[in-house]
C-alpha cells in the first residue's frame, strides 16, 4: 500500500483484495458486545472535515475508536478555520500535535494532495470536491463482493451526475481495476465525454442498460441551482433516469441496488425501491466502518494479512 | 557617466537581426557597441573572455506582471526588473492590471519613475484598452500614446465584446504602430475554470476550460482585425486551433501577431496530476497535441514571440487549495534556459530563431528600438552573454519577490552570465550588480 490513500489510483488490485479481506476480519468486531480491539492504541487520528458530512465522519470516528486510536474531530465551523486559518497552517498545527493519520474531507478537489506536502502523517481522502472518495468506493466494492461473491466480470451501471461525483470517479476506477464491466449512465451533459478513456462504457438510456446489470448504483442528483443548467428539470431527470417502481422490474433477479447516500427519494430513486430487499444501502453504511478500520489499520502500520493479529489482540 | 569600456572576446555572436552567427569580439563603449570583429584592440577595456559563451541581443519580454502599483507583496518594479536582468532581459513590458489600473498616463508615469529609480531594465508599460479593465469605455489611448505607450491590453481579462474590440482597433488606427493585445477567453465557457478541459480535468475533478473558449475568441478577434485593419496581438496562445487561425490570418494579410509562454511550450494538462498550484496558469496548460502545435507555430514564425507572462504571487496565495490559488507562474529568470533546454537542445528550434523570438520580435512589436539588435557599431549596447552548457536546477531563492515557478525542481541547461544594458553591466557572473 501507498503511504496515503488519496485516490483509487493509489491502490493496486492486490491492495484492494487485502483491504477487503482485512475489513472482513474487522466486521466481526462490530458484532461483539465490546466493539473494540487494541490495534491502534496510542495512535492519533484526526478527522479534518471542511465540509459537512455526518455519515462519513461518524464512520471514520467509529472505525478509529474501535481500533482504540485517539480521535480528534476538527470541523471547519467554529474552529480556527472560520478565523481564516489556511489549510497549510491548520495542517502544521495538527502535525505539531502529533497526528498519525489525517482524514480529510474538503470541497476543493486535490486538497488531500496539498496536505501530504505539509504533514508527515498518513492522509486519507474522505472526499475532495468533485475528485474522489476512495473509502466510499472500497466500501462499495466490499458490499458487492460480499453480496455477489466476486468483483471480476460484474456488470455495474453508475447512474446520475457522474461529471460532478467523486463517488462515481473512485468507484469507476476501482471497479475497472478489479475487472468489472462498468457503464456510466446519465444525461449527456453529466457524463464526461472522454470517459471511455477510463475503460468504461457510456449510455444515455437507462432502460436499455438495466436488464443487463448485476448492480445498479444510483448517484445523488444535486439539485442546487448551478447544477440545473445541465438538465431541464428534476422532474425530467426522474422521468428519464430515476429508478422507479416500473423500471426496477427490468433488473435481473439477484441484482443489487446501491446508493452512497444521502438519497433524494422520488428523484433518483423511488421511496419504495429504496426499501426493497435488493437495495443494500444500509449494508453499505455498516460495511463502511469495517473498511475504514481496515484502511486505518493497514496505513498506520498493521500488516493485515493475519486475521489473528487483527482481531485476537 | 562612468560607462565602462568592455571587450567581449571570442564570443559566439548570435544576432538574428544582423544575420550573424559567428565567433567574434564585441567592443562596448559609452553605452553603445563600438565595434564587432576579430582581434579587436583591448586597450584600456575590461576584457571578458567568452570562450564557449554566446553573446546575443538582450532579451525583451512583452508580457510581464510587475504588480506595482497595488500588489507589492507579489512583486515590485525593482524586484521584477532585477529578476528580468538576471534572466538576461534588458527590456520588459509590464501589464496594466495593477491597482490602480494603468489606464491613464499618470499610472504609466509612476511605473516609469519606479523603473528609472531601479535602473535595472528598460520598462515599456502596457496601457489598458478599457477604463478599469472593465471592458466598456475605452481608456484614454491617445494620452497614453503621447506618453510613449505602444501596446495596449486588458490582459487577465478578455475584451468582452466584439463591438468594444472593434471600436478600440478602429480608434487606435489613428496612431502609428499601436498594437492591441487581447487575452482570448470566452468567459461563459471558463467560469470557475481551474485547468484545460479534457480527460485530465475530468479525472482530477477540476472545472475545465475547453480550448474552444480561446479559439472562438481568437477567431472573433482576427475577424475584427480584418474588418478594421487594426493591429492585433494575441497574448499567450495555448491551443492548436488558435495557432492555425493565426497562421491563416497572417497568410491573408491580416495585421496580427502572437506570443507563447515558456510554460505552454513545456507542460501539458497531464502535469497537473499532483495538483501543483504553480502549474495553475491562465490560459491553462493544454494537451500534448496543443503543445506540439505551439512548438511548430513558434518554429515556422506563426508565433512571433516567446513572452513569459511572468505572474508573481505571494507564497501564501499559492500554498492553498487548488481552486483557491491564483493563476500564474513566474518566468523571467527561467525563460532563456527553458528555451535552450526544451527547444534548442532537442533540435525543435535553432538558437537564432529562439533568440529572435526572445528578443528581436518582441522588441519590434513593442517599438523598443534600442533592443533586439542588430549588434553593430553605433547601436545601443543591450546584450546578454550566456553559457549554453551550464547545468543548473530551478530552486529558491529567486530574485523575484515571489517563487511560484512552474519549473521548480527542473534541470536546466544554459545560464546567463552577464546582462549589459546601455553599456552597463546589470548582471555580472549571474548576479545583479545593483
Same domain, B22 and B63: no
pLDDT-derived band at B264 (thresholds 50, 70, 90) equals: very high
Neighbouring residues of A251: CB distance < 8 A, sequence distance ≥ 6: A210, A211, A213, A216, A257, A278
Residue A54 has pLDDT above 90, yes or no: no
- Are the C-beta atoms of residues B31 and B72 closer than 8 Å to each other? no
**Which residues 128-147 of chain A have a CB within 8 Å of chain B?**
128-132
What is the reported pLDDT for A115? 96
Domain end, chosen from B338, B366, B394, is at B366
ipTM: 0.92
Residue A125: closest CA among A113, A139, A140, A143? A113
3-state secondary structure labels for all residues of B101-147: CCCCHHHHHHHHHHHHHHCCCEECCCECCEHHHCCCCECCHHHHHHC
Residue B1 has pLDDT above 60, yes or no: no
Grid cell of A293 as nine digits: 478500520
Query: Which DSSP helix (H) or strand (E) runs through A27?
Result: helix A13-27
Same domain, B296 and B395: no
Question: Which residues of chain B neighbour A132 with C-beta distances below 8 Å?
Answer: 205
B49-52: long-range contacts, CB 8 A cutoff, minimum separation 24:
B49/B9, B49/B10, B50/B8, B50/B9, B50/B10, B50/B11, B50/B12, B50/B385, B51/B10, B52/B12, B52/B387, B52/B388, B52/B389
Residue with the bigger pLDDT between B189 and B4: it is: B189
In whole numbers, what is the pLDDT of chain B averaged over residues? Answer: 97
Paired strand residues for B387: B415
Query: A106 and chain B: CB distance < 8 Å anywhere?
Result: yes
Average pLDDT (B62-86) is 98
Cβ burial, residue B407 (10 Å; 0-12/13-18/19+): buried
Same domain, B335 and B396: no
Residue A140 has pLDDT above 50, yes or no: yes
Average pLDDT (B300-322) is 97
What is the reported pLDDT for B2? 58
- Are the C-beta atoms of residues B357 and B303 closer than 8 Å to each other? yes
Whole-angstrom distance, CA of residue A99 vs CA of residue A298:
16
Among A126-135, A260-269, B75-84, B136-145, which stretch is predicted with the lowest mean pLDDT?
Answer: A260-269
**Strand ranges for A192-292 from DSSP E:** 201-203, 215-218, 256-258
B176 is catalytic: no
B325-357 pLDDT, tens digit per residue, is 999 999 999 999 999 999 999 999 999 999 999
What is the reported pLDDT for A31? 85
Query: Which DSSP helix (H) or strand (E) runs through B56?
Result: strand B54-57
Longest distance between any two alpha carbons in chain A, whole Å: 57
DSSP structural state of residue A6: S
**Strand, helix or coil at A229?**
helix
Residue B373 falls inside a structural domain: no
What is the reported pLDDT for A313? 36
A162-182 pLDDT, tens digit per residue, is 999 999 999 999 999 999 999
Same domain, B101 and B152: yes
Average pLDDT (B36-41) is 90
Residue B408: closest CA among B329, B298, B340, B339? B329
Same domain, B294 and B397: no
Q: Which of A109, A163, A194 sits opposite B204 (nearest CB)?
A: A109
Top CATH class of A8-133+285-312 equals alpha beta
What pairing do the DSSP bridges indicate for beta strands A122-128 and B54-57? unpaired
What is the reported pLDDT for A225? 63
Same domain, B184 and B260: yes
Same domain, B125 and B22: no
> What's the CATH code of the domain at B99?
3.20.20.140
Among A25-34, A204-213, B369-378, B392-401, which stretch is predicted with the lowest mean pLDDT?
Answer: A25-34
Nearest chain A residue to B204, by CA: A131
What pairing do the DSSP bridges indicate for beta strands A256-258 and B89-94? unpaired
Handedness of CA A159, A161, A163, A169 (dihedral sign): negative
Neighbouring residues of B371: CB distance < 8 A, sequence distance ≥ 6: B57, B58, B60, B90, B91, B122, B359, B363, B380, B382
Residue B251 falls inside a structural domain: yes
pLDDT-derived band at B200 (thresholds 50, 70, 90) equals: very high
Paired strand residues for B428: B431
- Are the C-beta atoms of residues B277 and B322 closer than 8 Å to each other? yes
pLDDT-derived band at A289 (thresholds 50, 70, 90) equals: very high
A86-104 pLDDT, tens digit per residue, is 999 999 998 898 999 999 9
Q: How many domains does chain B have?
A: 2
- Are the C-beta atoms of residues A193 and A200 closer than 8 Å to each other? no
pLDDT-derived band at B302 (thresholds 50, 70, 90) equals: very high
Same domain, B49 and B64: no
What is the reported pLDDT for A33? 87
**Strand, helix or coil at B281?**
coil
Residue A305 has pLDDT above 60, yes or no: no
Asked if domains A8-133+285-312 and A134-284 share a fold, the reply is: yes
**Strand, helix or coil at A37?**
coil
Query: A88 and chain B: CB distance < 8 Å anywhere?
Result: yes
Residue A34 has pLDDT above 90, yes or no: no
Handedness of CA B275, B280, B283, B287 (dihedral sign): negative
Q: Please answer yes or no on whether B323 and A129 come within 8 Å at the CB atom.
A: yes
What is the reported pLDDT for A81? 65
Same domain, B24 and B152: no
Angle at B126 between CA B122 and CA B132, to 5 degrees: 145
Q: Please answer yes or no on whether A108 and B202 come within 8 Å at the CB atom.
A: no
Same domain, B30 and B94: no
Nearest chain B residue to A133, by CA: B205
What is the reported pLDDT for A310? 45
Same domain, B48 and B64: no
* A256-258 β-sheet, strand order: A201-203, A181-185, A155-159, A215-218, A256-258
> How close is the nearest chain A Cα to the Cα of B188, in Å?
13
Domain ranges of chain A: 8-133+285-312, 134-284
CATH number of A134-284: 3.20.20.140, 3.20.20.70, 3.40.50.1370, 3.40.50.300?
A: 3.40.50.1370
Domain extent, residue B230, equals 58-366
> How close is the nearest chain B Cα to the Cα of A236, in Å?
25
Cβ burial, residue A133 (10 Å; 0-12/13-18/19+): buried
Q: Which of A86, A88, A110 sits opposite B204 (nearest CB)?
A: A110
Q: Which residue has the cell 480535468?
A: B201
Residue A254 has pLDDT above 80, yes or no: yes
B135-185 pLDDT, tens digit per residue, is 999 999 999 999 999 999 999 999 999 999 999 999 999 998 899 999 999
Grid cell of B23 as nine digits: 565567433
What is the reported pLDDT for A223? 75
pLDDT-derived band at A304 (thresholds 50, 70, 90) equals: very low
> What's the CATH code of the domain at B51?
2.30.40.10
Residue B278 has pLDDT above 70, yes or no: yes
Q: Please answer yes or no on whether A198 and B203 come within 8 Å at the CB atom.
A: yes
**Strand, helix or coil at A97?**
coil
Residue A84 has pLDDT above 70, yes or no: yes
Question: Which residues of chain B neighbour A192 with C-beta distances below 8 Å?
Answer: 199, 202
Same domain, B324 and B390: no
Whole-angstrom distance, CA of residue B65 vs CA of residue B79:
11
> Which of these is catalytic: B252, B309, B350, B370?
B309
Average pLDDT (B90-100) is 98
Question: Which residues of chain B neighbour A110 with C-beta distances below 8 Å?
Answer: 204-206, 275, 321-322
Amino acid at each position: 500500500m501507498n503511504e496515503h490513500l488519496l485516490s483509487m489510483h493509489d491502490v493496486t488490485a492486490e491492495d484492494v483484495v487485502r483491504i477487503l479481506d482485512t475489513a472482513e476480519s474487522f466486521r466481526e468486531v462490530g458484532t461483539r458486545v465490546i466493539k473494540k480491539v487494541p490495534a491502534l492504541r496510542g495512535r492519533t487520528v484526526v478527522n479534518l472535515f471542511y465540509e459537512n458530512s455526518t455519515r462519513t465522519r461518524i464512520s471514520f470516528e467509529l472505525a478509529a475508536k474501535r481500533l482504540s486510536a485517539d480521535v480528534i474531530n476538527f470541523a471547519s465551523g467554529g474552529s480556527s478555520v472560520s478565523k481564516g486559518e489556511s489549510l497549510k497552517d491548520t495542517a502544521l498545527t495538527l502535525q505539531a500535535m502529533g497526528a498519525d493519520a489525517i482524514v480529510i474531507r474538503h470541497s476543493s478537489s486535490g486538497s488531500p494532495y496539498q496536505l501530504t506536502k505539509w504533514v508527515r502523517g498518513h492522509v486519507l481522502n474522505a472526499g475532495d470536491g468533485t475528485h474522489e472518495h476512495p473509502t466510499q468506493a472500497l466500501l462499495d466494492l466490499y458490499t458487492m463482493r460480499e453480496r455477489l461473491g466476486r468483483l471480476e466480470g460484474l456488470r455495474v451501471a453508475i447512474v446520475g451526475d457522474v461529471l460532478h461525483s467523486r463517488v462515481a470517479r473512485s468507484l469507476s476506477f476501482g471497479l475497472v481495476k478489479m475487472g468489472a464491466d462498468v457503464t456510466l449512465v446519465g444525461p449527456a451533459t453529466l457524463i464526461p465525454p472522454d470517459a471511455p478513456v477510463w475503460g468504461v462504457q457510456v449510455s444515455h438510456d437507462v432502460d436499455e442498460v438495466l436488464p443487463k446489470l448485476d448492480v445498479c448504483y444510483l448517484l445523488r442528483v444535486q439539485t442546487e441551482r448551478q447544477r440545473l443548467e445541465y438538465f431541464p428539470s428534476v422532474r425530467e431527470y426522474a422521468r428519464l433516469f430515476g429508478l422507479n417502481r416500473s423500471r426496477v422490474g427490468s433488473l435481473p433477479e439477484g441484482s443489487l441496488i446501491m446508493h452512497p447516500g444521502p438519497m433524494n427519494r422520488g428523484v433518483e430513486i423511488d421511496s419504495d425501491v429504496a426499501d426493497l430487499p435488493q437495495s443494500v444501502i444500509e449494508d453499505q453504511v455498516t460495511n463502511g466502518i469495517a473498511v475504514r478500520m481496515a484502511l486505518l489499520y493497514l496505513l498506520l502500520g498493521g500488516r493485515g494479512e493475519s486475521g489473528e493479529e487483527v482481531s485476537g489482540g | 557617466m562612468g560607462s565602462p569600456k568592455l571587450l567581449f572576446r571570442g564570443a559566439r555572436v548570435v544576432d538574428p537581426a544582423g544575420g550573424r552567427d559567428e565567433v567574434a569580439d564585441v567592443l562596448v563603449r559609452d553605452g553603445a557597441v563600438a565595434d564587432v570583429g576579430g582581434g579587436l584592440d583591448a586597450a584600456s577595456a575590461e576584457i571578458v573572455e567568452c570562450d564557449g559563451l554566446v553573446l546575443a541581443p538582450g532579451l525583451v519580454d512583452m508580457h510581464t506582471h510587475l504588480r506595482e502599483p497595488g500588489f507589492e507583496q507579489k512583486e515590485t518594479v525593482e524586484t521584477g526588473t532585477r529578476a528580468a536582468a538576471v534572466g538576461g532581459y534588458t527590456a520588459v513590458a509590464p501589464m496594466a492590471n495593477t491597482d490602480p489600473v494603468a489606464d491613464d498616463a499618470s499610472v504609466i508615469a509612476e511605473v516609469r519613475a519606479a523603473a528609472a529609480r531601479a535602473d535595472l531594465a528598460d520598462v515599456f508599460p502596457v496601457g489598458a484598452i478599457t477604463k478599469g479593465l472593465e471592458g466598456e469605455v475605452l481608456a484614454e489611448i491617445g494620452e497614453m500614446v503621447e506618453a510613449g505607450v505602444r501596446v495596449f491590453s486588458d490582459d487577465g481579462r478578455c475584451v468582452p465584446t466584439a463591438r468594444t474590440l472593434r471600436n478600440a482597433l478602429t480608434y487606435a488606427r489613428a496612431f502609428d504602430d499601436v498594437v492591441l493585445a487581447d487575452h482570448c477567453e470566452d468567459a461563459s465557457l471558463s467560469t470557475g475554470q481551474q485547468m484545460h478541459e479534457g480527460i485530465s480535468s475530468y479525472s482530477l475533478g477540476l472545472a475545465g476550460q475547453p480550448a474552444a473558449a480561446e479559439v472562438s475568441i481568437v477567431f472573433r478577434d482576427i475577424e475584427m482585425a480584418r474588418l478594421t485593419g487594426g493591429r492585433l496581438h494575441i497574448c499567450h496562445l495555448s491551443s492548436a486551433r488558435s495557432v492555425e487561425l493565426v497562421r491563416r490570418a497572417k497568410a491573408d494579410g491580416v495585421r496580427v501577431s502572437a506570443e507563447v509562454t515558456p510554460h505552454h511550450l513545456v507542460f501539458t494538462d497531464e502535469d497537473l496530476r499532483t495538483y501543483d498550484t504553480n502549474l495553475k496558469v491562465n490560459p491553462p496548460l493544454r494537451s500534448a497535441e496543443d503543445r506540439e502545435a505551439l512548438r511548430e507555430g513558434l518554429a515556422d514564425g506563426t508565433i512571433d514571440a516567446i513572452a513569459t507572462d511572468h505572474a508573481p504571487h505571494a507564497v501564501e496565495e499559492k500554498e492553498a487549495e487548488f481552486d483557491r490559488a491564483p493563476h500564474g507562474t513566474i518566468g523571467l529568470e527561467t525563460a532563456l534556459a527553458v528555451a535552450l533546454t526544451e527547444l534548442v537542445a532537442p533540435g525543435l528550434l535553432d538558437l537564432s530563431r529562439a533568440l529572435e523570438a526572445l528578443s528581436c520580435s518582441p522588441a519590434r512589436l513593442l517599438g523598443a528600438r534600442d533592443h533586439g539588435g542588430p549588434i553593430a557599431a553605433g547601436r545601443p549596447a543591450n546584450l546578454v552573454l550566456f553559457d549554453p552548457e551550464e547545468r543548473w536546477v530551478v530552486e529558491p531563492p529567486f530574485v523575484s519577490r515571489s517563487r511560484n515557478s512552474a519549473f521548480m525542481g527542473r534541470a536546466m541547461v544554459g545560464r546567463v552570465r552577464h546582462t549589459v544594458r546601455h553599456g552597463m553591466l546589470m548582471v555580472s557572473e549571474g548576479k545583479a550588480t545593483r
